[in-house]
Structure 1
């Protein structure tokens, strides 16, 4: 029985291959898929939009840029390299609060909307001039619990607290729960620079002075709770400026306290690899398209119609002649070299 089928196939091989190619193409047109179980990552990218992020101490394409501009480029790069099934939400941080601009969206389906959101991130979206990162983690944890699925928070911040922390205004996070899978990405330079004071039209009129950040311990709690911004003074000389640096030790300590991981923001690829290496919080069964596989099989079948005994024999003959020609040239060259060496 098998011999009969084999003889029939060989006799009508080209017709059978074309018929099989047609069936594969018809199947590909139906866009078939198979269920596949895979890990699904959901991220909440939080951009620090407080005024210290306007400090110009980062570099992009050999040009000096602000920390916020650098953050936006990094977020663009990360989003562009995430798998399609990844879900993503964009958030902003100012004062002691974090706001989510929307619930997590699938990256590829809403690719343009996500990138447009990142493009429009601006320091003028901030609702307060203060920057209380330590206080904000409580709000973030509460916000993530309200999202429809388990989500990892990724902060992009310089870690600059304003007003400066004292014993009276430093929240105890010893009992904090929920930081597992969070990442604090440090933005800025270790050298530091002044924080520009900008108008609503984004025009620079000076720098924030040291007095703008100086808060006495006995009034720290009142300032943190009632003040909506820093002191409106402007530095009049270089030594008066408040120098803002990436607060690496503070961010590392804060990450340790809440059970998160700290990452330097100097290399976007390293940040992307770190957040993807972390275990997925949930799994789901999704359809895996196989139309490309059927189309490839159809192409192979069509190519197979051009392969027969004569073409195979001709191909072997051509390869054999090519090998003989190469060997003859190599041996001829060796004989020539040996002949020259003999007469030298």
Structure 2
């Protein structure tokens, strides 16, 4: 040990540079160590029913549809998740939620996940209805099909279509499995008309009030089973159905099943709520030491260019700077006096 210390004192710069080179070489091999930590897995569910085409949100100060706002929030959420997190994207329409793939790691599959979000479209929906209460059971079935459990983040405007009444309200009293789920409300409390679009995404009118009228028991249940809405188009401004963010309803659902509700107007609010969700599991995973090695290499490289007594050297530099400043000030004073004598 004494020999190593003596060698280091004699060949300090060479030892530091050699150590920096060694750390860089080790960083290239991506050495990992097993570390037990929390594993986060999410099923990000997006409502793709037609009410999500309602334009009552903004993006960069410009009017935008709820669907476009959901896509923006999903992009930012995925971009903020740390490497090692796994994500699946799900679609909600009718009474069902379909997961597009099993949860995949965000960093390795970042482009694929973002591309999935880019292609969210109401035309993908397999049903014209929106039965949020019943969709919760479909979400649990989707999660059970995964190779590992996942937390849920559900983006929706909270609109039930057809409207709920005593005959079609799903009982959630004994519902289990939503502990830690996050319901994210999209839209505004003021609301707006729901545009009716063609297959080419062209506006052909707006959904009428009759399309969402509450029908007597069996008629509405039959409508629900068919999975279609009335095709009536509003003839005037007063005939249009106004769709609003039903935050109070979503809060009540969250309370019934033990989940959490947040407004989806700010990505930081969503991310803060996600941080409070329980991890999917705790397991041993590899921890990459490359950045540690690279950081040590940088520190050793900086140390090689410092003197043996850096504090003393800094003090000497400061004293020298002070002497030069005083000398320059004296020179300026002498020149000023000489100039005044010359004029006199």
Give yes or no for contact 2:162–2:224 (8 Å, CA) kept in 1.
no
Taking the aligned partners of 2:304 and 2:140, their CA distance within structure 1 comes to: 62
User: 1:325 and 1:113, CA in 2 relative to 1: closer, same or farther beyond 3 A?
Assistant: same
- Residue 9 of structure 1 aligns to a residue whose secondary structure is helix
Give yes or no for contact 1:169–1:220 (8 Å, CA) kept in 2.
no
Residue 61 of structure 1: CA displacement? 1.1
Residue 191 of structure 1: CA displacement? 0.6
Structure 1 position 251 matched with structure 2 position 244: no
- Residue 108 of structure 1 aligns to a residue whose secondary structure is coil
User: 1:11 and 1:164, CA in 2 relative to 1: closer, same or farther beyond 3 A?
Assistant: same
Name 1:80's counterpart in structure 2: 79
1:303-314 alignment to 2 at 5 Å? 303-308=302-307
User: 1:199 and 1:40, CA in 2 relative to 1: closer, same or farther beyond 3 A?
Assistant: same
Unaligned runs of 5+ in 2: 330-344
- Residue 158 of structure 2 aligns to a residue whose secondary structure is coil
- Residue 227 of structure 2 aligns to a residue whose secondary structure is coil
Residue 19 of structure 1: CA displacement? 3.1
Taking the aligned partners of 1:309 and 1:106, their CA distance within structure 2 comes to: 46
Taking the aligned partners of 1:278 and 1:86, their CA distance within structure 2 comes to: 13
Name 2:23's counterpart in structure 1: 24
Taking the aligned partners of 2:286 and 2:101, their CA distance within structure 1 comes to: 25
Taking the aligned partners of 1:160 and 1:314, their CA distance within structure 2 comes to: 70
Q: Structure 1, residues 288-337: CA drift from partner, whole Å, max 9, x if none?
A: 2222332333343344444446998765432212245668999xxxxxxx
Name 1:317's counterpart in structure 2: 316
Residue 259 of structure 1: CA displacement? 1.1
Taking the aligned partners of 2:224 and 2:302, their CA distance within structure 1 comes to: 74
Aligned length in residues: 332
Give yes or no for contact 2:186–2:263 (8 Å, CA) kept in 1.
yes
Q: Structure 1, residues 85-111: CA drift from partner, whole Å, max 9, x if none?
A: 111000100001110000001101100
1:267-282 alignment to 2 at 5 Å? 267-282=266-281
Name 2:158's counterpart in structure 1: 159
1:22-171 alignment to 2 at 5 Å? 22-171=21-170
Taking the aligned partners of 1:157 and 1:310, their CA distance within structure 2 comes to: 63
- Residue 262 of structure 1 aligns to a residue whose secondary structure is strand
Q: Structure 1, residues 197-231: CA drift from partner, whole Å, max 9, x if none?
A: 11111111111111111132322553244322111
Residue 171 of structure 1: CA displacement? 1.0
Give yes or no for contact 1:96–1:132 (8 Å, CA) kept in 2.
yes
Name 1:217's counterpart in structure 2: 216
Taking the aligned partners of 2:76 and 2:305, their CA distance within structure 1 comes to: 45
Name 2:337's counterpart in structure 1: none
Name 1:9's counterpart in structure 2: 8
Residue 17 of structure 1: CA displacement? 2.7
Unaligned runs of 5+ in 1: 331-344
- Residue 183 of structure 2 aligns to a residue whose secondary structure is strand
Q: Structure 1, residues 214-255: CA drift from partner, whole Å, max 9, x if none?
A: 132322553244322111111101111111100111111111
Give yes or no for contact 2:46–2:91 (8 Å, CA) kept in 1.
yes
Taking the aligned partners of 2:307 and 2:187, their CA distance within structure 1 comes to: 66
Residue 180 of structure 1: CA displacement? 0.5
Residue 189 of structure 1: CA displacement? 0.6
User: 1:284 and 1:327, CA in 2 relative to 1: closer, same or farther beyond 3 A?
Assistant: farther
Residue 136 of structure 1: CA displacement? 0.9
Give yes or no for contact 2:52–2:67 (8 Å, CA) kept in 1.
yes
Q: Which moved more, 1:155-164 or 1:141-150?
A: 141-150
